[in-house]
């Protein structure tokens, strides 16, 4: 029965969403903030004891059935459940989202009440979606949460509803992730049909045991789904533009939790991937390519938020590498650590941007180290963790575990390791660029600003965890059922060297004008190898053109087809009226198939009409009528008007009558 407490985890944010979205009590600002805070932090309060009880082996795996659907012979049993993976991910999500919500109370304090309500309502809905996804014990609840996150992501990216740019960014994110979601849905449905159950505990072993062609297909579809949501190359283009959303949104959705959900998905379905070597290898390759690509693009960024976005892309690439080489536990450890330091980086950069010259460009950060020292320190801690500063940061431990696991995974793994190491060095380069820039003397001296404790409190907590959390990486990996690798010393030293070299390179890029200029000129890299423009040219524009061609104009072509100026006058007039129906009405667009049907109908109509035009039946009647007229004409000539003619006729008639009378009496 205690398992049903799990339902209490996503419920409070859902209730918060309903309360804030419908707003039946006309809440004022304070009440909105209070409701959002309570609804957003309650999951942590409920989840923490349960997760700890489970992780300390005090409480076993739990399943709380919600309800069961019966479709023919199939049973679709919805449930939430608690196992190690869901305990770790749910704890991370609840914790990070509580931190971000507290931070948002301060960050969003300038918004109008209605906007504030909308913001927190969507944040709460997002929490509910993410939590139902990580706690799901069946594929339907999983997908429900997955899609709910996408919906919230769309609305939160375009939170600034008057900005066309924000809307376009949200739309782009929604469409690209939906493409991947369609693949995921296909994979989940196929898996369901194969396994005959939606329960993950039955689904995943059944998927792993498949030995038909469907096995790799399902694994590949799941991989595509994960890559879309996690903005992995080549689906990555939506994430940098998604930074149009407010900073708390970027901190929660587009770095720590939602974007990393792809890694959670793959960790969840790791047995299915492991059963299909080719797909597992593809996962590792896709991950490491993305890691390198994201890190290289991040180096060239001039905007902190975009830099961090590319960084998320790259870091989740590492998680995919870990799943691909068969150590999902390590991937999840990195998921936890990444959630901590990436949300920290985003939130701290938000404070620094407010303290700086305004705007989110890296150059504007100059001098903020002195103006907002606590936030700067927190940011530096996050950057150190991201860069993998050896030994003292959590990021080092988790990333090193991934690289070492790859190193131990055969020839392909060796290649992956080498590329991953390069990416790690680049990571250090970009991670420290904002830090060093913030340290530089400002162009104009301004006094130290006030740092609100609401904003700084979560930063400090997260900063401590981003550094000290390294102690927990190994135990966490073991808890998740993985074995932390024991690489040779030189492998570890190579990792450490990469990070330190990277930091040195970062200093060089920041302080040496020649190098800084080269980075500033790397436009192609900054635009993420211009994949965006390529997609636009290859997919979006052709699609729009196609739509426009299909529905452009008002379908005037129909007029030319229907009334080419032939036929008798009557038909012509008949058809002129009909053309009105074939052509689209005012304000409508062309609809070729529909209009073709109308044209076809009109042709049939004309074919039926022509034999009757002129109407031959009518002509026959008229002919008869004319005949009668002619007969009357002749009969009229009898009317001469002369008395002798009439007397003659009278006499003849009388004679005839007498003759008839005589004839009738004659026997």
Partner 1 sequence: MALIAQLLLPFFGGFAALLAARTGRDRERWVAIAAMAATLAALAAGVALGDDGRWLAFYRADWAPSFGIQVLLAMDGLTAAMLAISSGLGIISVFISWHVTHRSALFHAAICWTVAAANGVFLSFDLLIFAFFWELMIVPAFLLIALWGHGDREAAAIKFLVFNAVAGLGLLAAVFWMGATSDPVTFDAFALAETEYSETAQILLLLGFALAFMVKLPVPPFHAWLPDAHTQAPTAGSILLAGLLLKTGAYGLFRFPPMLFPDALMALAGWGMALGAFGVVYGGILACGQTDAKRLVAYTSVAHMSIVLMGVCGGVHFALIGAGVEMIAHAFSSSALFLLIGALQHRTGTRDLRELGGLQKTAPAFATSFALFFAAALAMPGTANFLGEALVITGMFQVNWVFAAIALVSLVVSVVYATRLIGGIAFGAPKPAVENAPDLHRYELWPIAILGLCALVFGLFPQLLIGWLWTAVEAALQPLIVVQP
**Shortest spacing between CB 167 and partner 1, in angstroms:** 5
Per-position DSSP letters for 25-83, written without gaps between them: T---HHHHHHHHHHHHHHHHHHHHHHHHHHHTTSS--EEEEEEEEEETTEEEEEEEEE-
**Shortest spacing between CB 593 and partner 1, in angstroms:** 5
Smaller CB separation from partner 1, 239 or 439: 239
Given a contact cutoff of 8 angstroms between Cβ atoms, the answer to whether 203 and 211 are in contact is no
SS3 361: strand
Smaller CB separation from partner 1, 155 or 293: 155
**Shortest spacing between CB 224 and partner 1, in angstroms:** 12
**Shortest spacing between CB 370 and partner 1, in angstroms:** 39
**Shortest spacing between CB 232 and partner 1, in angstroms:** 18
**Shortest spacing between CB 158 and partner 1, in angstroms:** 7
Q: 63 φ, ψ to 5°?
A: -135, 130
- Measured CA to CA, the distance from residue 315 to residue 319 in angstroms comes to 7
- Measured CA to CA, the distance from residue 320 to residue 469 in angstroms comes to 21
**Shortest spacing between CB 43 and partner 1, in angstroms:** 19
**Shortest spacing between CB 263 and partner 1, in angstroms:** 21
- Measured CA to CA, the distance from residue 531 to residue 534 in angstroms comes to 5
**Shortest spacing between CB 493 and partner 1, in angstroms:** 47
Smaller CB separation from partner 1, 59 or 167: 167
Given a contact cutoff of 8 angstroms between Cβ atoms, the answer to whether 148 and 174 are in contact is no
Smaller CB separation from partner 1, 8 or 168: 168
Which of 326, 335, 311, 325 has its CA nearest to residue 263? 335
Which of 64, 63, 65, 86 has its CA nearest to residue 76? 65
Given a contact cutoff of 8 angstroms between Cβ atoms, the answer to whether 6 and 50 are in contact is yes
SS3 276: coil
Smaller CB separation from partner 1, 378 or 571: 571
Residue corresponding to tokens 């070597």: 277
Smaller CB separation from partner 1, 540 or 648: 540
Smaller CB separation from partner 1, 183 or 288: 183
Smaller CB separation from partner 1, 410 or 601: 601
**Shortest spacing between CB 69 and partner 1, in angstroms:** 5
Residue corresponding to tokens 């991040």: 298
Using CA atoms, how far residue 247 sits from 304, 354, 431, in Å, is 11, 11, 18
**Shortest spacing between CB 35 and partner 1, in angstroms:** 17
Query: What residues line the site for partner 1 (CB under 8 A)?
Result: 21-22, 67-74, 114, 140, 143-144, 146-148, 151, 154-155, 158, 161-162, 164, 167, 170-171, 174-175, 178-179, 181-183, 185-186, 189-190, 192-193, 546-548, 550-552, 580-581, 584-589, 591, 593-598, 601
Smaller CB separation from partner 1, 32 or 465: 32
Smaller CB separation from partner 1, 17 or 269: 17
Q: Is 231 left (phi over 0), alpha (psi -120 to 50) or beta?
A: left
Given a contact cutoff of 8 angstroms between Cβ atoms, the answer to whether 94 and 47 are in contact is yes
Smaller CB separation from partner 1, 71 or 643: 71
- Measured CA to CA, the distance from residue 578 to residue 559 in angstroms comes to 10
- Measured CA to CA, the distance from residue 493 to residue 486 in angstroms comes to 13
Q: Where are the alpha helices (DSSP H) in 512-556?
A: 513-521, 523-526, 531-535, 541-551
Residue corresponding to tokens 């994430």: 239
Smaller CB separation from partner 1, 186 or 501: 186
Given a contact cutoff of 8 angstroms between Cβ atoms, the answer to whether 345 and 466 are in contact is no
Given a contact cutoff of 8 angstroms between Cβ atoms, the answer to whether 238 and 172 are in contact is yes
Which of 314, 261, 317 has its CA nearest to residue 285? 317
**Shortest spacing between CB 155 and partner 1, in angstroms:** 7
């Amino acid at each position: 029965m205690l398992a049903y407490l799990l339902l209490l985890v996503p419920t409070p944010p859902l209730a918060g969403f309903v309360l804030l979205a419908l707003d039946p009590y006309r809440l004022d600002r304070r009440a909105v903030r209070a409701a959002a805070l309570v609804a957003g932090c309650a999951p942590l309060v409920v989840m923490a004891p349960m997760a700890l009880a489970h992780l300390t082996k005090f409480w076993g795996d739990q399943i709380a059935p919600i309800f069961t659907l019966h479709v023919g012979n199939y049973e679709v049993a919805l449930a939430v459940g608690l196992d190690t993976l869901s305990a770790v991910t749910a704890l991370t999500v609840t914790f990070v989202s509580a931190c971000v919500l507290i931070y948002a109370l301060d960050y969003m304090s300038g918004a109008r009440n209605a906007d504030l309500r909308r913001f927190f309502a969507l944040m709460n809905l997002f929490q509910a979606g993410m939590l139902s996804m990580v706690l799901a014990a069946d594929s339907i609840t999983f997908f429900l949460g997955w899609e709910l996150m996408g919906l919230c992501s769309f609305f939160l990216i375009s939170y600034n509803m008057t900005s066309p740019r924000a809307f376009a960014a949200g739309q782009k994110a929604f469409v690209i992730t939906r493409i991947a979601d369609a693949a995921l849905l296909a994979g989940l449905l196929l898996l369901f049909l194969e396994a005959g159950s939606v329960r993950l505990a039955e689904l995943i072993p059944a998927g792993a045991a498949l030995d038909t062609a469907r096995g790799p297909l399902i694994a590949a579809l799941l991989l595509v789904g994960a890559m879309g949501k996690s903005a992995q190359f080549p689906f990555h283009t939506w994430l940098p533009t998604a930074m149009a959303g407010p900073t708390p949104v970027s901190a929660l959705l587009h770095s720590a939790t939602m974007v990393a959900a792809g890694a959670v998905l793959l960790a969840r379905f790791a047995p299915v991937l492991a059963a299909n070597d080719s797909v597992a290898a593809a996962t590792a390759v896709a991950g490491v390519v993305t890691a390198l690509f994201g890190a290289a693009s991040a180096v060239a960024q001039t905007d902190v938020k975009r830099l961090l976005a590319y960084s998320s892309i790259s870091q989740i690439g590492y998680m995919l590498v870990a799943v691909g080489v068969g150590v999902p536990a390590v991937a999840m450890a990195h998921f936890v650590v990444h959630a901590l330091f990436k949300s920290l980086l985003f939130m701290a950069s938000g404070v620094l941007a407010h303290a700086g010259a305004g705007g989110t460009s890296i150059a504007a950060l100059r001098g903020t180290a002195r103006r907002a020292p606590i936030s700067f320190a927190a940011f530096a801690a996050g950057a150190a963790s991201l860069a993998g500063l050896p030994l003292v940061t959590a990021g080092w431990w988790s990333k090193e575990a991934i690289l070492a696991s790859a190193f131990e995974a055969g020839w392909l793994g060796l290649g992956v390791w080498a590329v991953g190491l390069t990416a790690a060095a680049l990571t250090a380069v970009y991670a420290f660029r904002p830090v060093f820039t913030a340290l530089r003397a400002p162009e104009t001296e301004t006094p130290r600003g006030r740092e609100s404790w609401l904003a700084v409190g979560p930063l400090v907590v997260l900063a401590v965890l981003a550094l000290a959390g390294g102690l927990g990486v190994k135990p966490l990996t073991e808890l998740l059922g993985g074995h932390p690798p024991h690489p040779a010393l030189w492998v570890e030293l190579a990792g450490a060297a990469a990070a330190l070299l990277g930091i040195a390179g970062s200093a060089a890029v920041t302080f040496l004008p020649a190098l800084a200029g080269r980075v500033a000129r790397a436009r192609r890299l900054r635009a993420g190898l211009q994949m965006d423009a390529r997609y636009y040219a290859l997919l979006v524009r052709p699609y729009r053109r196609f739509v426009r061609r299909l529905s452009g104009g008002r379908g005037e072509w129909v007029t030319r087809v229907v009334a080419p100026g032939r036929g008798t006058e009557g038909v012509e007039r008949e058809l002129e009226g009909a053309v009105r129906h074939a052509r689209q009405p005012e304000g409508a667009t062309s609809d070729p198939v529909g209009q073709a049907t109308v044209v076809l109908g009109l042709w049939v109509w004309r074919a039926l009409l022509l034999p009757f035009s002129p109407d031959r039946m009518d002509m026959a009647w008229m002919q008869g009528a004319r005949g009668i007229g002619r007969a009357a004409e002749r009969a009229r000539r009898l009317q001469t008007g002369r008395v002798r003619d009439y007397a003659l006729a009278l006499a003849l008639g009388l004679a005839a009558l007498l003759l008839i009378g005589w004839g009738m009496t004659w026997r």
